[in-house]
């Protein structure tokens, strides 16, 4: 297993690679070409430059998070063909660069949604939070202003300022696009790219919708155990797989995370894990917490045990840490709390492994 941190690049991240290298157990990073707009093809030389920068710090570029998908592909417009071709070029160049994991999402318009990027907890730490009551009473374009104001000066994926002007046009394009149609569009995309993935052994790992329900009335399709089974059935290639994000799937408390991990239709397709915890306040209202089980609503030991039981040997990273010890960083992506998350997972994993009497 590769334990990693997400790194947004020198231009977009306050955390230095040499600091990531100092976290015990971390072997690499997942990153992206954040300045390439969705729909454009990634150049091999740009991928190699990123890879060389990471390797110069003594780490591996373990995967990409993300090669963003153009909205025309998600909607199913005729123009999707050129964007799919560009996506295939990007995958081919990643394969040539010996990068074999791509985390991506199929969320409509917004990659993820939070209503507060700096909610203060009783201990003085700051976390990301979601309140469905605020979503019901705010217009999407106002959410952009809110996110920009609380982003600590960083441009956040899915909430780029230039996208604000496209919002109303995108909502118009999504009119009449049902969840069933969006699943068809996902199948069309997967069927088109899987031959490239097979050739270069690139594991595609779709990320669950965050949160795992409809937001602003837009249909979401990666929300439950049943939906993961449906996506696995869209294309039977092992390279059509999942990012098991505990916080995203777990935002719906009906989702039993250890059960999902052990599901025979899903377990072999889990290529990437986002390991994090959240705390529910009431229905539709939650905030993120430390990784510790007792600080949130997930039993992180049981999640780690389920991963161990299925023989998980993919890529894992801690996710959405708190802002602690006065750190100023990209919301959810400071160094300190994610490093604590790695240490916590390492402890769980070692205890589980050493207590396995069958080995």
What is the DSSP secondary structure assignment for residue 207, as one 8-state letter?
Answer: P
Catalytic residues: 207, 245, 274, 319-320, 333
For every residue of 43-80, DSSP letters joined together read PHHHHHHHHHHHHHTT-EEEEEE--PPPHHHHHT-TTH
- The H-assigned helical ranges of 62-139 are 71-75, 80-96, 132-136
Q: Strand pairing partners for 323?
A: 126
Query: For residue 310, what are the CA distances in angstroms to 41, 233, 266, 270?
Result: 36, 20, 10, 10
Residue 167: helix, strand or coil by DSSP?
helix
In DSSP terms, 31 is beta-bridged to: 64
Q: Give the H or E element holding residue 343.
A: helix 336-354
* Phi, psi at 273, each rounded to 5°: -125, 130
Separation of alpha carbons 220 and 230, rounded Å: 13
- Nearest CA among 96, 27, 28 for reference residue 65: 28
Residues 6+ apart with CB under 8 A from 63: 4, 30, 99, 100, 101, 102, 103, 205, 272, 315
Query: What gap in Å lies between CA 91 and CA 174, rounded to an integer?
Result: 27
Q: Is 270 within 8 Å of 244 (Cβ atoms)? A: yes
């Amino acid at each position: 297993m590769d334990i990693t941190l997400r790194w947004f690049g020198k231009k977009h991240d306050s955390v230095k690679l040499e600091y990531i290298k100092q976290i015990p157990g971390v072997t690499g990073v997942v990153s992206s070409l954040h300045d390439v707009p969705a729909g454009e093809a990634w150049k091999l030389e740009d991928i190699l430059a990123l890879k060389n920068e990471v390797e110069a710090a003594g780490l591996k570029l373990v995967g990409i998070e993300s090669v963003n998908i153009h909205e025309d592909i998600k909607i199913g417009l005729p123009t999707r063909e050129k964007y799919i071709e560009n996506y295939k070029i990007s995958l081919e160049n990643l394969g040539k660069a010996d990068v074999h994991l791509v985390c991506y999402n199929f969320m409509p318009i917004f990659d993820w949604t939070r209503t507060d990027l700096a909610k203060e907890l009783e201990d003085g730490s700051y976390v990301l939070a979601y309140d469905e009551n605020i979503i019901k009473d705010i217009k999407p374009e106002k959410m952009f202003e809110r996110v920009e104001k609380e982003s600590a000066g960083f441009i956040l994926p899915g909430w780029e300022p230039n996208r604000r002007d496209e919002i109303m046009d995108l909502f118009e394009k999504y009119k009449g696009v049902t969840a069933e149609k969006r699943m068809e569009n996902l199948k069309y995309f997967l069927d088109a790219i899987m031959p490239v993935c097979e050739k270069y052994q690139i594991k595609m790992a779709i990320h669950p919708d965050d949160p795992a329900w409809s937001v602003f009335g837009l249909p979401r399709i990666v929300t439950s155990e049943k939906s993961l089974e449906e996506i696995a059935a869209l294309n039977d290639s092992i390279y059509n797989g999942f990012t098991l994000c505990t916080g995203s799937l777990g935002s719906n408390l009906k989702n039993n995370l250890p059960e999902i991990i052990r599901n025979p239709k899903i377990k072999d397709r889990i290529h990437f894990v986002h390991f994090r915890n959240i705390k529910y306040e009431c229905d539709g209202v939650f905030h993120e917490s430390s990784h510790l089980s007792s600080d949130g609503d997930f039993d992180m030991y049981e999640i780690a045990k389920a991963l161990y039981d299925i023989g998980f040997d993919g890529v894992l990273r801690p996710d959405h840490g708190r802002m602690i010890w006065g750190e100023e960083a990209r919301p959810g992506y400071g160094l300190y709390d994610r490093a604590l998350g790695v240490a916590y997972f390492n402890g769980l994993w070692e205890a589980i492994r050493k207590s396995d009497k069958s080995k």
